[in-house]
Amino acid sequence: MEKRTLGRSGIAITPIILGTWQAGKRGWVGIEDDEVIRALRAALDAGITTFDTAEVYGKGYSEQIVAKALSDVRDQVVLATKVFANHMKYDQVLEACDRSLQNLNTEYIDLYQIHWPSGSFNSEVVPIGETMEALTKLRDQGKIRAIGVSNFSGKQLAEAAQYGQIDSLQPPYNLFWRGVETDAMPYCIENNISILAYSPLAQGLLTGKFKPDHQFQEGDIRAKNKLFKGQNYERAQAALDRLRPIAERHQCTLAQLALAWLIAQPQTNAIAGARNTDQALQNAKATDVQLSPDELAEISTIGRTVTDHLDSNPVMWEFAA
């Protein structure tokens, strides 16, 4: 699989990144540790070398699963994790990083990211300069190699960049959720900041596997996803019907088509989760799908039939950040 450079860091990442929110189990159902571990190894065998997690995913459990799967091949992989919004003070950032290092069983984290802006989820508001000072110290110490932010607006990203080098932005971004294109993407392009798109398949909606009457099990975070509700869901189903002929033309799945479109966008890489080996392998194959400029434009237009009806709230779920 081709590799790209993470911002200005010099770190080589793959355009498909394996996401491990599901490995933490919290907010998910039917997740088995052994299956996830096998999925991570299968992803590596398929050429995916970049893996994303966070301290808040299962309160460190996801990081521990990543360690179980990849510790013996640490020199072959790029590990990214995130510090949560309630740990934004200087000392809290340093302590959180040490916990993540222990959970991941590693001496360094390749990419350390602010998960949500300070103040999110009723957390204490901490000046971004204080948080960035701690992150810069961690980088100077060699505990982290690069700094990123997640769920930041373009304005928040620009403010953070005044206090140190930011190499990545991790926003929600997929064919049906595209606020970043008009908000932060222009700044990222101008300043060579990589976009690491999370929920690139809209939590499975873009796979086409969910029927019009689908009901999620209790505890499944997707039950709160705005794209799975009401007219948004109906429009998405209609858009998927229009995407299917394009996928058939390329002999690929809808998921692979959506990922191929996404990683063809400026500065953009896709963080795709996998709960089993087959999903990991299928995601990796998205890099084989080559779309023409006309096809990219056609797919984009189809996606607009969903996104043009969404409000400006950047949070994909019906809970307050």
Provide the annotated active-site residues.
57
Q: Are 196 and 112 in contact (CB under 8 A)?
A: no
**CA-CA distance, 107 to 191, in Å (whole number)?**
29
Strand partners, 81: 112
